[in-house]
Chains A and B, each alone.
Chain A
Amino acid sequence: MISVSHLSKHFDSFKAVDDLSFSVKPGDIVGFLGPNGAGKSTTMKMLTGFLRPTSGDITVDGLSISEHAKAIQAKIGYLPEGAPAYGDMTVIQFLNFIADVRGLKGDTKTRSIQSVIEKVTLADVLDRPIENLSKGFKRRVGLAQAIIHDPQILILDEPTDGLDPNQKHQVRELIQQLSKDKLVIVSTHILEEVTAVCNRVMVIADGKLRFDDTPEGLLKQSRYHKAITLHLSYQSDISGLAELAGVADMEVDRPTGKVTLFPEPGMDILHLVTEYIQLRKLPVDTLYIEQGRLDEVFRQITQQEVA
């Protein structure tokens, strides 16, 4: 359980994090979303005790981080931005070092290292110096380092940045496997990532919390949520669609010929639309319900002017 109250961090006159309050409980997989420079990394650095807040407090399981930093850090697994690691060490040396620092000994240590190597598939590169590894492997070494002690709290700063689609998929699966009863905070600016792995989304912009709900809640914010998009195989009169009760608006995308019908808030318009199509025998070849468009919601939330 992490609770953050009125957290602020100022760098000179710049407010990187501005009066942030939230709490996260075990089982939550939180996606930290926000444009670059929004304060995601700064917040994570304060959660892990690397940076001291200008004001406000963070407590983890009832302990305040300003007084019990080391006890809290022992519970946390952290992947800093860019996955820094000691380049002159080989992968196995590095994992051994982290295991030692984490206080793992004897059999437990051997088993932890073994299991982490399997989980993030590092077996092929164990004896290579980290500085010679590809970006994907470096990121995986960083992940391995973060989960080696099976932490209750996992904080990952852009874990999939710079990975190819297969590696991204792997990392997401890993996060999902890990997080049965754990508390995970993942920062990212990849929107699909959030719906793929998280059960809670926080959007941060200009150091402020702009949104905090489930990924579905985020999709619901979209104008496109439950909108219907259809395509006709040849030109016909569709003006009647816009007149249907419950349809608020109709948009036609000229280049693709796709027609999108926006519902009135809270209305389900699928049956109305399909009835109309059957009645008029419209030559529809594609029809689907939109889930909501994340990029549009993201822009809407993060670019709103501060009043």
Chain B
Amino acid sequence: MSQVGTIFRREFASFFATPVAYVFITIFLVLSGVFSFFIGQLYERGQADLLPFFNFHPWLYLFLVPAIAMRSWSEERKSGTIELLMTLPVTTTQAVLGKFFAAWAVLGLSLLLTFPLWLTVNYLGNPDNGIIVAAYLGSWLMAGGFLAISLCMSALTKNQVVAFILAIVVCFIFVLSGSGVVLDAFQGWAPSIVLDTVASFSFLTHFEAMAKGVLALNDVAYFLIVMVIWLVANHMVISQKKAD
């Protein structure tokens, strides 16, 4: 377990040694502000909650999480450090987890830094802070789902751009699998059980209640399972294809 911590510290520090974390956090804060106020009409709605803020998170994560995850494994492959890492007494599981938690921590930090919004609604009215905390947790969980997918895509290639695009595509499918764009492809030929299963993969559907502050067990479990499955896939990709 201490090895996970060591990898975590290295990865976390590396986000801040390069401009990646700063750029990411800045863009995240600016965009979430813009979305909440100008598109979500946080102010004009006259309600003391952060629903407009959380509603845009799936769309923000769709581009930003692949961006922060794309270099994780690609860079190791490109610079050859994967050979160093994999010949140190670190198991693939420890490396996968260390990398995941480090990036997830950066995402968590970005979320925490949106606290001025929370201060704002508390200044303007009396929101239910329990709901807001729950929604924050839900958003962080969903970010973990995006992250696990993106890391797995990063493990597939040594080219960061390819990793980024693959991650966006797969994430996009997961975000929209409950909506017409994806379901239409199955409509008409697939049995309804397939249709329902595909629809139940949707990040949007599972996040809907969470954004309102309801942490239902099935939604929480859904995102945890997504993370586990993609991290296992990540592990398989790395152990099958270490070189090149």
Chain A residue at minimal CB-CB distance from B240:
A52
CB <8 Å contact, A84 and B90 = no
Q: Mark A79-106, 1 if CB is under 8 A from B, else 0.
A: 0111011111100010001101111000
B39 interface hit (Cβ, 8 Å): no
Given known A100-B6, A101-B88, contact A84–B83 (CB-CB < 8 A): yes
CB <8 Å contact, A85 and B84 = yes
Bound-state CA distance A71–B90 (Å) is: 10
CB <8 Å contact, B243 and A45 = yes
**Per a CB cutoff under 8 Å, which of B10, B86, B91 touches A86?**
B10
CB <8 Å contact, B14 and A101 = no
B126 interface hit (Cβ, 8 Å): no
Interface residues of B in 131-155 (CB under 8 A from A): none
Bound-state CA distance A87–B71 (Å) is: 13
Interface residues of B in 37-59 (CB under 8 A from A): none
B218 interface hit (Cβ, 8 Å): no
Given known A50-B242, A50-B243, contact A45–B83 (CB-CB < 8 A): yes
What B residues does A82 contact at CB under 8 A? 80
Chain B residue at minimal CB-CB distance from A42:
B243
**Per a CB cutoff under 8 Å, which of B6, B13, B80 touches A80?**
B80
A111 interface hit (Cβ, 8 Å): no
CB <8 Å contact, A84 and B80 = yes
What's the tally of chain A residues with a CB closer than 8 Å to chain B? Answer: 29
CB <8 Å contact, A50 and B83 = yes
Bound-state CA distance A80–B79 (Å) is: 11
CB <8 Å contact, B89 and A73 = yes
Bound-state CA distance A82–B87 (Å) is: 15
CB <8 Å contact, B89 and A103 = yes
CB <8 Å contact, B89 and A101 = yes
What A residues does B90 contact at CB under 8 A? 70, 101
Given known A73-B87, A101-B88, A101-B90, contact A86–B14 (CB-CB < 8 A): yes
Bound-state CA distance A74–B89 (Å) is: 5
B17 interface hit (Cβ, 8 Å): yes
Bound-state CA distance A84–B7 (Å) is: 17
CB <8 Å contact, A89 and B10 = yes
B129 interface hit (Cβ, 8 Å): no
CB <8 Å contact, B91 and A70 = yes
Chain B residue at minimal CB-CB distance from A94:
B10
CB <8 Å contact, A87 and B87 = no
A49 interface hit (Cβ, 8 Å): yes
Bound-state CA distance A288–B224 (Å) is: 77
Bound-state CA distance A143–B224 (Å) is: 41
What's the tally of chain B residues with a CB closer than 8 Å to chain A? Answer: 22
Bound-state CA distance A296–B84 (Å) is: 35
Bound-state CA distance A87–B90 (Å) is: 20
CB distance from B66 to the nearest CB of A (A): 20
Residue from B6, B84, B91 whose CB has the most chain A CB atoms within 10 Å: B84
What A residues does B84 contact at CB under 8 A? 78, 80, 84-85, 145
What A residues does B87 contact at CB under 8 A? 48-50, 73, 76, 78, 80
Bound-state CA distance A78–B90 (Å) is: 14
What A residues does B10 contact at CB under 8 A? 86, 89, 97
CB distance from A156 to the nearest CB of B (A): 13
A51 interface hit (Cβ, 8 Å): yes
CB distance from A150 to the nearest CB of B (A): 14
CB distance from A148 to the nearest CB of B (A): 11
Interface residues of B in 82-118 (CB under 8 A from A): 83-84, 86-91
What B residues does A48 contact at CB under 8 A? 87
B179 interface hit (Cβ, 8 Å): no
What A residues does B86 contact at CB under 8 A? 49-50
CB <8 Å contact, A101 and B3 = yes
CB <8 Å contact, A98 and B88 = yes
**Per a CB cutoff under 8 Å, which of A49, A51, A70, A86 touches B81?**
A86
Residue from B9, B18, B83, B90 whose CB has the most chain A CB atoms within 10 Å: B83
Chain A residue at minimal CB-CB distance from B78:
A84
Chain A residue at minimal CB-CB distance from B15:
A88
Q: Which residues of A contact B (CB under 8 A)?
A: 45, 48-51, 70-71, 73-74, 76, 78, 80-82, 84-89, 93, 97-98, 100-103, 129, 145
Q: Which residues of B contact A (CB under 8 A)?
A: 3, 6-7, 9-10, 13-14, 17-18, 79-81, 83-84, 86-91, 242-243
Pairs A–B under 8 Å by Cβ, sample size 6: A80-B84, A80-B87, A84-B84, A86-B79, A89-B14, A101-B89
Nearest 5 interchain pairs by C-beta:
A84-B80, A74-B89, A80-B83, A88-B17, A100-B6
Q: A70-B91, A71-B89, A97-B10 are in contact. List 18 more A-B contacts (CB 8 A).
A: A45-B83, A45-B243, A49-B87, A51-B242, A70-B90, A76-B87, A84-B79, A84-B84, A86-B10, A86-B14, A88-B17, A97-B9, A98-B88, A101-B3, A101-B6, A101-B88, A102-B88, A145-B84
